[in-house]
Structure 1
Amino acid sequence: MKLNVLAIVAHPADSFDMIGGTLANHVNDGDNVTLVVMDSTDMLNIFSLADEMKKGKVSQARIEEAVQNHVQSVTDACHILGLEDVRFLKYQGEWLCHSPELVGKMADLIQDVRPHLLITHNPLEDGGASEHAVCGRMAVEAVYVAEGARDTELPPHHVGQVYFMYWPGVTTWLDATTANRYGAIMIDVTERIEQKVRAYAQLSAHYVNMRHAAKLMEGICGGPGHHIRVAYVEGFQPYRPEVYKKLPISEHNLWLSGKGWKDGIKKVKLIAPYLEGVQECSDDR
């Protein structure tokens, strides 16, 4: 069965570092994947431009150039992952805040795309105070709005499952205490790790090159994978309970059940640091 997958993320990089391999897996299997990135019209999430502004006034022409370059880099990164349906959901203000209007727009997207699966952020991330959490909360609310009787031209739609992406690290102490940092479901993205590294390396405005991208992917995808005998993984937490006739077991765990320790450890390959272009890059960005 061909699936419709909708991902709603707070920032462009969230598309690549945490879920890029999973989205690429779905694309490779022929599923329809739509990526929606929240896009502020007032606060530009461009690190290099912020550094320029710190040194002095920046012209409007330079700001517009930086925005165009950043949007193009995001588009290029998505193409590396095979993502063609990429949309930007614009909002007013310098910080993503909860808005009934944005919830309605997300519900419109759900009714339009009609996803079987929706991927977003955990609403409890960083104690609910981060833009990730706000994005996730609105996406969950939109799931319920979209299945109701709305005064629109779009028919209602029930999303089969919502998956929260997870970040295996701690930005603030709120991250360590409010949101589970371990995925209940791990997706093997070993075959996509080169795409992930090359996609993330497109974000030059964030001072990212192949070397930094490889280090990041080795940490966030390689570390969690090591414990479950997979080279690289992306983790997710399901929102709804899954229902089966029998207790499920993944192909990977079934394979491991008949193998020895050495067989499992051999699967944990080191790939990202040795990709072409990584060693040639400098740490000086």
Structure 2
Amino acid sequence: MSEQQRLTILAIGGHVGDAELTAGGVLASHALKGDRIVTLAMTAGERGVPAGRDMAEYRVQKVNEAKAFAEMLGGESIVFDIPDGELQDNDEMRFRVADVIREVRPNIIITHFKNSMHKDHKTTHRIVNDARFYAGLASFEREKPAFFASKLYYAENWEDAVDYKPYVYVDFSQEAYDLWVKAVSQHWFVTGSASFPYLEYYKHLARVRGIEARGTYAETFMIPEESLSLVRSEL
């Protein structure tokens, strides 16, 4: 695949593991096709530290888990040095993400849906939407030149479920599914958390969405509301 044909996908989560769980099958599928995968976590998600563990040490572990996942897909990971739960909804963060977008130059951005039970998820959604706009405007002078990511998707997440309705189904192969499961299992909370059966839930969800898409496995996405339209010349 030539560099001109190769896609770059930037998956942005509030915490390490968010994007990997909710869009990991599609990321793995694109990786197998030769596309470039970059993950960005706004925080490491270290407040989910296992009982008896040191939170600072767990943060280091989470950063390493993000790196391990990305490398298994031949990609790259970025984790901001922001404490879990303390992500600020301000322009400083918007420009910080805009700078990443200008650096990575993604064709596609994937992030959280607008509604969530989790503060960092909702804040990430708002930041990413504006950062995409800021990154695309040359009149915002930054270190890197302006770049507009043409496609934006919101991944399906059990914590972001209010008003979420699947709009885009993206199916993927058994090979991509197996790669995703192996890669996402590098995250302790995915396989070891006692609070929610993350891996079981998302594996079953991928199968259910695959059946709905008349295939084997799939993940679903929403798109910006202003893009929810079909233009046809006839019925």
Give 1:188 deviation, angstroms.
1.0
**For residues 114 and 39 of structure 1, what CA distance do their matches in structure 2 show?**
21
**For residues 52 and 190 of structure 2, what CA distance do their matches in structure 1 show?**
13
**For residues 94 and 238 of structure 1, what CA distance do their matches in structure 2 show?**
26
Give 1:175 deviation, angstroms.
3.8
- The Cα offsets for residues 186-244 of structure 1, whole Å up to 9 and x where unpaired, read as 111233221222223222256539xx565223322112222232221110112253899
**Contact 1:24–1:83 (Cα < 8 Å) also in 2:** no
Give 1:245 deviation, angstroms.
8.8
Give percent identity, aligned residues only: 19
Name the SS of the counterpart of 2:81 in structure 1.
strand
Q: Does residue 198 of structure 1 match 2:172?
A: no
Q: 1:94–1:237: structure 2 CA closer, same or farther, 3 Å change rule?
A: closer
Q: Counterpart of 1:276?
A: none
Give 1:22 deviation, angstroms.
1.0
* TM-score (normalizing by structure 1): 0.68
CA RMSD of aligned residues (A): 2.8
Residue 75 of structure 2 is aligned with which of 56, 63, 84?
84
Residue 6 of structure 1 is aligned with which of 7, 10, 22?
10
Deviating above 4 A after TM superposition, structure 1's stretches of 4 or more consecutive aligned residues are 242-247
Count residues with an aligned counterpart.
Answer: 223
Q: 1:63–1:118: structure 2 CA closer, same or farther, 3 Å change rule?
A: closer
Q: Does residue 45 of structure 1 match 2:53?
A: no
Unaligned segments of structure 2, at least 5 residues: none
| Structure 1 letter corresponding to 2:153 | Y
Where in structure 2 are the equivalents of 1:224-243 lying within 5 Å?
A: 224-239=209-224, 241=227
Name the SS of the counterpart of 1:37 in structure 2.
strand
**For residues 115 and 146 of structure 1, what CA distance do their matches in structure 2 show?**
11
**For residues 66 and 15 of structure 1, what CA distance do their matches in structure 2 show?**
19
**Contact 1:8–1:35 (Cα < 8 Å) also in 2:** yes
Give 1:136 deviation, angstroms.
1.1
Q: Counterpart of 1:282?
A: none
**For residues 161 and 35 of structure 2, what CA distance do their matches in structure 1 show?**
32
- The Cα offsets for residues 2-29 of structure 1, whole Å up to 9 and x where unpaired, read as 2222121111121221111111222222
Q: Counterpart of 2:122?
A: 133
Q: 1:213–1:151: structure 2 CA closer, same or farther, 3 Å change rule?
A: closer
* TM-score (normalizing by structure 2): 0.81
Residue 189 of structure 1 is aligned with which of 159, 169, 172?
172
**For residues 207 and 29 of structure 1, what CA distance do their matches in structure 2 show?**
27
Q: Counterpart of 2:154?
A: 164
